[in-house]
């Protein structure tokens, strides 16, 4: 049953202590760009309400979100939720991060000016099962390791796999490093990378399997049968039509927001979150005010507390400006 929608006029802005927003289909328009109107509003929001962190919560890697972060480098909030919540990063030497002296920074995992402060990789045994499946059946798949994307598909011998994998390009993700018998990764051979995954020294944060939309169900069933998926601590996240994302069952944007809430000393009830896709479901459901975009899928519409305009109509800005007037 759909919740009765809340209007911005029914909300007290004083209740909001953190703002989280998805990127694709939410903060970005259908051309995968952030508009000047959105940038202008967020700049003013940051100046007038600097005490309220604005946090990006995305399925992308840090690199995939970098074109957005460059436009929003004025934000005082130094935290970002990436890879659907599997990785939470904070800027090095940021004012906000330095105020949290107990923050468990993993300095050996420094990524392009950020530290890893929270992560939820897949279980080693699950990574091994799925890796074995990928290698045995030569299915097109991309493995996320922090800010790196790798694939064991061979571009020369399996161009059909590469055609599917290339659908990631529109999301600004980093260039995929193909590891084959003749192509190494960071000076390591294909066998050495496989051994690193098997030993748990190479952590997997997400795997994307690729298939034509009409064959996704067939692929899911085959993985379930061959890899014993039901026994794994892993979950399906059906996002794009040609993609099947697999992550740890504890991974979600909601879990990452809960980590930040504990860090900031606030409750989830004081968080507002914007989203449009199935990977936003837990976040929209669990925060105090979950807002679906006007272009959101029905599953998100049905659990949201409120609905705003579409991403092409600057829905995030339109809703926030009614709570936090900036122009």
Last residue of a domain, one of 212, 231, 248: 248
What is the reported pTM? 0.91
Query: Number of structural domains, the chain?
Result: 2
For residues 284 and 178, state if they share a domain.
no
* Lowest-confidence segment of 22-31, 103-112, 247-256, 280-289 by average pLDDT: 103-112
Residue 6 domain flag: no
Report the relative pairing of strands 79-82 and 87-91 from DSSP bridges. antiparallel
pLDDT band at 101 (very low <50, low <70, confident <90, very high): very low
Percent of the chain with pLDDT over 70: 91
Asked if 207 and 143 count as a contact pair (C-beta separation under 8 A), the reply is: yes
Residue 141 domain flag: yes
Distance CA 73, CA 34 (A): 13
Please give the residue range of the domain that contains residue 201.
Answer: 124-248
For residues 92 and 135, state if they share a domain.
no
CATH number of the domain bearing residue 191 = 3.30.1240.10
CATH number of the domain bearing residue 282 = 3.40.50.1000
Residue 8 domain flag: no
More confident residue, 5 or 110: 110
> What is the chain's mean pLDDT, rounded?
90
User: How many CB atoms lie under 10 A from the CB of residue 101?
Assistant: 6
Report pLDDT for 1.
46
pLDDT tens digit sequence for 55-99: 999 999 999 999 999 999 988 778 999 999 999 999 876 655 555
Residue 2 domain flag: no
Residue 3 domain flag: no
For residues 173 and 261, state if they share a domain.
no
* Residues paired with 320 in a beta bridge: none
Report pLDDT for 228.
78
Report pLDDT for 9.
57
Question: Residues 128, 134, 136, CA angle at the centre, nearest 5°?
Answer: 95
Report pLDDT for 326.
86
Which of 31, 69, 76, 55 shows the shortest CA–CA distance to 274?
55
Q: Residue 214 above 70 pLDDT?
A: yes
Report pLDDT for 247.
96
For residues 33 and 93, state if they share a domain.
yes
Report pLDDT for 196.
96
pLDDT tens digit sequence for 136-178: 999 999 999 999 999 999 998 889 899 999 989 888 899 999 9
């Amino acid at each position: 049953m759909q919740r009765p929608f809340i209007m911005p006029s029914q909300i007290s802005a004083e209740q909001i202590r953190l703002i989280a927003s998805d990127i694709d289909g939410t903060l970005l328009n259908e051309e995968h760009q952030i508009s000047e109107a959105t940038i202008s509003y967020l700049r003013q929001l940051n100046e007038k309400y600097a005490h309220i962190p604005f946090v990006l919560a995305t399925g992308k890697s840090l690199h995939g979100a970098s074109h957005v972060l460059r436009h929003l480098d004025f934000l005082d909030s130094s935290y970002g939720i990436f890879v659907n919540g599997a990785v939470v990063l904070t800027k090095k030497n940021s004012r906000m991060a330095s105020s949290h002296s107990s923050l468990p920074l993993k300095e050996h995992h420094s990524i392009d000016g950020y530290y890893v402060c929270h992560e939820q990789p897949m279980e080693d045994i699950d990574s091994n099962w799925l890796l074995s499946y990928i290698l045995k059946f030569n299915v097109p798949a991309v493995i996320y390791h922090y800010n790196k994307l790798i694939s064991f598909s061979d571009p020369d011998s399996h161009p059909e796999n590469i055609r599917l994998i290339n659908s990631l390009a529109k999301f600004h993700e980093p260039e995929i490093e193909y590891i084959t018998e003749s192509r190494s990764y960071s000076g390591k051979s294909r066998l050495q990378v496989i051994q690193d995954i098997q030993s748990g020294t190479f952590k997997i944060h997400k795997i994307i399997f690729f298939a034509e939309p009409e064959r996704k169900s067939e692929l899911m069933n085959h993985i379930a049968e061959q890899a014993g998926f039901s026994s794994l601590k892993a979950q399906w996240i059906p996002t794009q039509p040609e993609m099947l994302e697999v992550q740890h069952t504890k991974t979600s944007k909601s879990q990452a927001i809960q980590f930040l809430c504990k860090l900031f000393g606030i409750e989830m009830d004081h968080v507002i979150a914007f989203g449009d896709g199935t990977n936003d479901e837990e976040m929209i459901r669990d925060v105090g005010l979950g807002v679906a975009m006007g272009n959101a899928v029905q599953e998100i519409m049905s659990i949201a507390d409120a609905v705003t305009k579409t991403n092409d109509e600057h829905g995030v800005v339109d809703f926030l400006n009614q709570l936090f007037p900036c122009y």
